[in-house]
């Protein structure tokens, strides 16, 4: 023991290569283990801010937080004050891939620029927050009295048996004159057929397909006009059918509030399914203009489309876009999957005119 104490006091062990080799042999893996344990369990919590300086040399370099390359982004540019930026004409994604294992962390994202908006990848929407719905139809206790047809209430919802249909009389000239938001709660049961109309008005429709849920508008402008659509893929039918789902579909044509670029967008179960732009096009009002709002069947495809099979719990419609552009959003990271944050241009009319600029994207992640 005395010899050991003398050795320590002398300090000669500090000059021993054998000591340092053994020290690092143990210290390096121990340090790595402690680092991994910290990232997985975060005993002291987690609070970290990430910043993308858009247009800088590293803005698209993959890391924990970066801007994904997009055909809608311009080359790097430098403003007169020396700050960097890119023009955006369409959409791009910022990607968050944290090294730490985050569970129920609060993620706050903001964007700095002109004519830029963030679309939340997950929308926590409560229909009761809208108090002025044009139609607020509850299908859980009875078939709403305004509707005509042969669906019936069963087990707390209105059931459509594959031959049922409901119509809302005197609505042939509605739902197409301005922006429109449609919210639906439904449970599909037929996983074999496409074009099962959940709700629609002939020139716009929300369909249940065997491998997707789709929202489409058109024809646009005239009899030869185009149609536009968004599809939310159903990749695992066994997990999708025979379960309750929600849809929020938006038709937002040009207007005083949106003077430059019309679009449709769709959220399924709160998940962003996509946004499709159509410029200055608008729904052609005379496209089979005698059709009332219908639920459960569409006369499209020469009346060969199948009827919807399943249940409907709720339908809400309003003649405006209930989702306004946001430059800041807050979301929750429930697991450690990458988070894709959709950033869009709200200024561009066409793919040939880029007027939106994006300078910085900020993200703060907090887990207590």
Pairing mode of beta strands 212-217, 204-208: antiparallel
With 0-12 / 13-18 / 19 or more C-beta atoms within 10 angstroms meaning exposed / middle / buried, residue 70 is: middle
CB 55 within 8 Å of CB 78 = yes
Are 279 and 262 a contacting pair, CB within 8 Å? yes
Domain extents in the chain: 2-41, 46-120+326-367, 127-318
List phi, psi (to 5°) of 283.
-60, 135
pLDDT tens, position by position, 352-366: 444 789 999 999 999
Tens of pLDDT, residues 280-318: 999 998 887 788 999 999 887 657 889 999 999 999 999
Could you tell me the pLDDT band of residue 258, with boundaries at 50, 70 and 90? low
Split at pLDDT 50, 70, 90, the class of 26 is: low
- Third-level CATH fold of 127-318: Jelly Rolls (2.60.120)
Closest CA to 261 of 245, 279, 246, 274: 279
> Rounded distance, CA 244 to CA 317, Å?
19
pLDDT at position 25 is 66
Query: What percent of the chain shows pLDDT beyond 90?
Result: 61
Residue-wise pLDDT for 236-247, tens only, equals: 999 999 999 999
What confidence score (pLDDT) does residue 177 get?
82
- At residue 350, the pLDDT reads 43
Q: Does 34 or 206 have the greater pLDDT score? A: 206
Given this model, what pLDDT does residue 351 score?
A: 44
Sheet holding 91-96, edge to edge: 65-67, 91-96, 339-345, 116-119
Q: Rounded to whole angstroms, how far apart are CA atoms 327 and 329?
A: 7
Over 50: is that where the pLDDT of 120 sits? yes
Let me know: does 198 contact 207? Beta carbons within 8 Å. yes
pLDDT at 318: 96
Look at the block and give the residue holding tokens 């937080």. Answer: 65
Assess contact for 278 and 260: CB atoms under 8 A. no
pLDDT the model gives residue 67: 97
Question: Region 149-167: what's the mean pLDDT?
Answer: 96
Distances (CA, A) of 236 to 31, 41, 212, 309, 336: 42, 32, 10, 18, 21
Q: Tokens for 287?
A: 């496209």
């Amino acid at each position: 023991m005395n010899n050991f104490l003398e050795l320590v006091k002398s300090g000669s062990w500090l000059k021993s290569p054998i000591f340092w080799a053994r020290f690092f042999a143990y210290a390096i893996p121990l340090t790595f283990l402690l680092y991994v344990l910290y990232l997985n369990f975060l005993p002291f919590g987690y609070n970290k801010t990430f910043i993308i300086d858009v247009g800088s040399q590293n803005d698209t370099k993959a890391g924990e937080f970066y801007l994904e390359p997009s055909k809608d982004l311009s080359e790097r540019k430098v403003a007169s004050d020396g700050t960097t930026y890119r023009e955006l004409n369409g959409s791009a994604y910022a990607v968050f891939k944290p090294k730490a294992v985050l569970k129920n962390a609060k993620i706050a994202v903001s964007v700095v620029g002109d004519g830029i908006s963030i679309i939340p990848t997950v929308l926590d929407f409560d229909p009761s927050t809208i108090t002025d719905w044009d139609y607020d139809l509850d299908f859980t206790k009875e078939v709403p009295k305004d509707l005509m047809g042969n669906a019936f209430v069963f087990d707390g919802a209105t059931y459509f048996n594959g031959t049922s249909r409901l119509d809302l009389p005197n609505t042939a000239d509605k739902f197409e004159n301005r922006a429109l938001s449609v919210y639906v709660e439904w449970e599909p049961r037929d996983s074999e057929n496409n074009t099962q109309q959940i709700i629609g008005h002939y020139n716009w429709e929300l369909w249940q397909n065997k491998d997707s849920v789709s929202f489409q508008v058109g024809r646009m402008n005239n009899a030869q006009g185009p149609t536009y659509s968004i599809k939310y893929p159903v990749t695992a039918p066994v997990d999708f059918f025979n379960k309750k789902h929600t849809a929020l579909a938006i038709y937002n044509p040009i207007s005083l509030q949106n003077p430059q670029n019309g679009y449709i967008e769709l959220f399924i179960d709160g998940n962003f399914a996509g946004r499709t732009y159509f410029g200055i096009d608008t729904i052609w009002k005379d496209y089979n203009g005698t059709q009332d709002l219908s639920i459960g069947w569409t006369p499209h495809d020469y009346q060969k489309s199948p009827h919807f099979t399943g249940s409907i719990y709720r339908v809400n419609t309003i003649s405006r876009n209930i989702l306004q552009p946001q430059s800041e959003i807050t979301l929750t990271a429930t697991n450690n999957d990458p988070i894709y944050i959709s950033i869009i241009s709200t200024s561009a009319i066409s793919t040939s005119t880029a007027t939106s600029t994006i300078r910085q994207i900020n993200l703060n992640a907090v887990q207590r």
